[in-house]
Structure 1
């Protein structure tokens, strides 16, 4: 996978389900300052990819789970590695479930959820079997499409913007901004520990890749901020906080009467493309993690059983959209912090202590 392709994967992963769900979650807490909450959350969440990059560089391009085994040994390392696999599976299940709920609520209410999950995971199985190079090329192609569609949506909304809806920005003070940033730190920014840990061992050139990764990360953040700003300027904070899917509602407002209409269909295609990339990365991370932990030559044999298991979990793990929103608001940030901050920090500290011990032994000789 080339560095540009890796950037495309990172960008699409960040947008993923966040571009549809983050506006309503944050606006309910931060009101007109929701866009500031996104920026604050992104700055805090940058710790996750930064620490994973540092770990993989110190351990000569090994994957995140290989680093766990190398640093903490076969038992504690395997336990943490299994935790990362379960986290990736859990995240993938939520991503698939998000698409299924959107489709049944907004477009095809009579179609069962499992039908959408089956289609998404079938694509994930095929993508994994084709290899990361194919995913990289596919992401690079999708990147241009997504940017053009979102930019077109913004352009067609210019006449409907009301900048006064952004005021007062700090009406509730910084406490409200921090409260809005709290769920966004875990969703989607700390989740990037998965995409970073999966991409790094597969990038052809790692020199200066941290800069490239930062560009993709903050470009994705910029698009989320723009979605927040446009949503607030079109609907206002109170209305946005009560919309189920603000981006879809925003796209329905875009257009030029009798000239350009139904732009939401293109926006929906772009969103599903982002979600599919995020699901594929979670699926691939879990399978590669299993291969490492079980010392298998190839994990493709487990791709279909894992897909079936994820379809079953998606039917039971999230009973409703309300339950999902409550989970994101309360539990997801500390849960993601465990794998995005605390475990990488532990690995870095142990690596540093071991490095200091080696230097002392060499000095004594």
Structure 2
């Protein structure tokens, strides 16, 4: 059944760009360079290619069942109980993602700007705003995210341009100083964060107006390509500005923005990059919680899914506090090492199973 709320194909594509760019535009360069060194840009291109393949799978499923979400297609193709088994890891990782995105905002604020403020204050405040945003609906979200996202991209490219005189292109050589393996490890990291996460849009595509389905694939691929371009720009900028130090810094683009100094007039614009991280992460967290609400609603046939928003958001907050209580080092390890593998098991594998089962059932029907 088509949801009552409907948005355009290009609005959905913009939501995909917002979701994929999200916190990754600030968080990806440092860890990616640590894995692949000067070959980080190659890793990013390989991960983008993998993301294109995942998106193709999502669009194939939508093309076959345009009015049904991933959970609804799974129930029709596999039955009720197999769908529940598939949904358990699918839902668990959505909790993990939403908690991690907001937790990252809190850790950033606590480590760079407001060091004495308790972490729980940041995370709870963001989760409250996320819950209110999700309750407003997908149509409202698709409209309200436009201006913040445009400002974020403008700020990021402003920093990139202002630093053009400080670029040292020799930092890009040699391209693969340690062979192919580090480049593949970097691609593995970037594939897991953020590209495999776009599987969540299999829950949102039924919101696209039926008369605009023919525009969806073009818009979604364009959004993903532009996301890859933005990540490639900030990664290269980080490499040519910071050189070997780039791999040692967590929020490397934030540090890059601190180096901007033009005639003692344009200085200390790292707050712009801080705004970019907070705004992007907030928007990505809102989309993730919306998908979490949709998954619960479709799985348990709730008619009033908005009633689930605040309980689910509070559960995400408690999950984030439980996770960070075990230490920040464990959190960093989970994001950089385990995240791609777990995302593949929880997101990509269920998508492939349902797509194959639905295609077989469609042919036999």
- Does the TM-score normalized on the shorter chain lie above 0.5? yes
For residue 201 of structure 1, the aligned residue among 188, 206, 222 is 206
Deviates more, 1:334-343 or 1:133-142: 334-343
The alpha carbon displacement at 1:330 in A equals: 2.5
1:48 counterpart = 2:54: yes
Kindly tell me: are residues 5 and 353 of structure 1, through their superposed partners in 2, closer, same or farther at Cα, counting changes over 3 Å? closer
Equivalent residues in 2 for 1:283-302, closer than 5 Å: 283-302=289-308
1:247 counterpart = 2:253: yes
| In 2: Cα distance, 1:320 partner to 1:43 partner | 34
Deviations 1:70-111, CA, capped at 9 Å, x for gaps: 211111112212432222111000101111111111111111
For residue 242 of structure 2, the aligned residue among 235, 240, 247 is 235
Deviations 1:114-139, CA, capped at 9 Å, x for gaps: 11111211111111111111100012
For residue 14 of structure 2, the aligned residue among 8, 13, 32 is 8
TM-score, reference length from structure 1:
0.93
The alpha carbon displacement at 1:48 in A equals: 2.3
| In 2: Cα distance, 1:355 partner to 1:293 partner | 21
Equivalent residues in 2 for 1:23-34, closer than 5 Å: 23-34=29-40
Aligned equivalent of 2:151: 145
| In 2: Cα distance, 1:227 partner to 1:143 partner | 16
Q: Tell me how many residue pairs correspond in the alignment.
A: 356
TM-score, reference length from structure 2:
0.93
Aligned equivalent of 2:285: 279
1:41·1:189 contact (CA, 8 Å) conserved in 2? yes
Aligned equivalent of 1:192: 198
2:170·2:240 contact (CA, 8 Å) conserved in 1? yes
Structure 1 portions without partners, runs of 5+: 359-365
1:342 counterpart = 2:349: yes
Structure 2 portions without partners, runs of 5+: 1-6
For residue 89 of structure 1, the aligned residue among 92, 95, 104 is 95
| In 1: Cα distance, 2:203 partner to 2:363 partner | 28
For residue 20 of structure 1, the aligned residue among 26, 41, 57 is 26
1:71·1:347 contact (CA, 8 Å) conserved in 2? yes
| In 2: Cα distance, 1:136 partner to 1:80 partner | 28
For residue 178 of structure 2, the aligned residue among 172, 182, 185 is 172
Aligned equivalent of 1:136: 142
1:85·1:285 contact (CA, 8 Å) conserved in 2? no
| In 2: Cα distance, 1:335 partner to 1:245 partner | 23
Q: CA RMSD in A?
A: 1.5
| In 2: Cα distance, 1:144 partner to 1:329 partner | 28
